[in-house]
Structure 1
Amino acid sequence: MTDPRSIVCHMNIVLEDGSTADSTKASGKPARLNIGDESLSPAFEAQIAGLKSGDKHTFTLDPSDAFGESNPDAIHHLDRTKFPADMTLEEGVIVSFAGPGGSEIPGIVRAVAGDSVTVDLNHPLAGRKVTFELEVVEVL
């Protein structure tokens, strides 16, 4: 492990079809990426390790190096009674589940068939090749 340091940057996450999945510029709040604390994949760290303030860098990562592969074990088929009666359940709706230590785990409804609701707890970008467009604001 290297000595931890951080890069503060604006970042666009772009999908293979060219659409933007997320952007820090929209919120005006740059992201802080920590190098050396194992929060980023080795491939991601290798791309940003030498960047300096003012640098712009674009790179593409395969799913395993970005948000991970889609895990079939994170897809659950739940009974409709597990949800509030007044909740609209349809494909694409994001629902929240209680996680360990009071955390919230978001899930995406993938299908509704009768009383069965299929919920995907994978990261929304899991299994996808993505391009990162970075603009370094500061190196800490």
Structure 2
Amino acid sequence: MTITKNCIVTLDYHINDTEGNLLHEEEESLVYLHGNYGHIFPTVEKALEGKSVGESFTITLSADKAFGEYDPSLVISEALSELPVEVSVGMELDGYFEEDSDDVIIYTVTEINGDHATMDGNHPLAGMDLVFEGTVLDIHEATPEEIKEVLEFHQSH
């Protein structure tokens, strides 16, 4: 069986930078519904189309196709007294765009200086070209119930 629309695909993968340094490795396999449902990067999905169980893949994504270019305007400084909890460097906090309260942004505290914290709303891998490497572990045709379940799960998260 090969990867086609409406297959549930299980991948073992890791992400490197273009120099081959490991950036991210999942301990658990990635399971997704194939077919342009927006669950994985479109470029990765396109490259996986037609692959079989046991096949490996190496897919390079430029920053704009992965987690976006680094946006310096997403780096903010907040008074510690304005923050809901005692913060430490490396901590992640949810924030909102003032003009759109539905759009949650995750800020990582990058520095604490006196009574202010510097927080970065960029994804940790923003601005980087990435190389996805892995192996196809399993493919099966999704039942209508599975498709419904997956779509409902992604809408609620």
Check whether TM > 0.5: yes
Normalised to the residue count of structure 1, the TM-score between the two structures is 0.75
Q: 1 CA distance for matches of 2:24 and 2:85?
A: 32
Structure 1 CA distance for aligned equivalents of residues 119 and 95 of structure 2: 14
Please report how far the alpha carbon of residue 113 of structure 1 lies from its aligned counterpart in structure 2 after TM superposition.
3.1
Q: Which residue matches 1:94?
A: 91
Residues 51 and 20 of structure 1, relative CA distance in 2, 3 Å threshold: same
CA shift for structure 1 position 98: 6.0
- Partner of residue 12 from structure 2, selected from 10, 13, 26: 10
In the TM superposition, what whole-angstrom CA distance separates every residue of 1:67-118 from its partner, at most 9, and x where no partner exists? 2222334322211213367543x4xx122226678xx854222333332322
Aligned to 1:33: 32
Q: What letter corresponds to residue 29 of structure 2 in structure 1?
A: P
Partner in structure 2 of residue 113 of structure 1: 113
Does the 8 Å CA contact 2:87/2:109 hold for their aligned counterparts? no
Q: Which one-letter code corresponds to 1:41 in the other structure?
A: F
Partner of 1:44: 44
In structure 1, C-alpha distance between the alignment counterparts of 2:71 and 2:95, rounded to whole Å = 19
Q: What stretches of structure 2 of length at least 5 have no aligned partner?
A: 141-157
- For residues 19-60 of structure 1, what are the alpha-carbon distances to aligned partners after superposition, in whole Å with 9 as ceiling and x for unaligned? 212223xx2x21113332023333222211121111111121
Residue in 1 that maps onto 2:128: 128
- Asked if structure 2 preserves the Cα contact closer than 8 Å seen for 1:15 and 1:129, the reply is yes
CA drift at 1:7: 1.7
Q: Figure out how many residues of one structure are paired with residues of the other and give that number.
A: 132
**Pairwise CA distance, 1:8:** 0.5
Aligned CA-pair RMSD = 2.7
Retained in 1: the 8 A contact 2:10–2:136? yes
Runs of 5+ unmatched residues, structure 1: none
Mapped to 2, the partners of 1:4 and 1:40 lie a distance apart of 14
* SS class of match (2:112): strand
User: 1:64 aligns to what SS in structure 2?
Assistant: helix
Q: Deviations over 1:101-137 (max 9, x none)?
A: 8xx8542223333323221122111111111111110
TM-score using structure 2 length: 0.69
Whether the 8 Å CA contact 1:10–1:23 is kept in 2: the answer is no
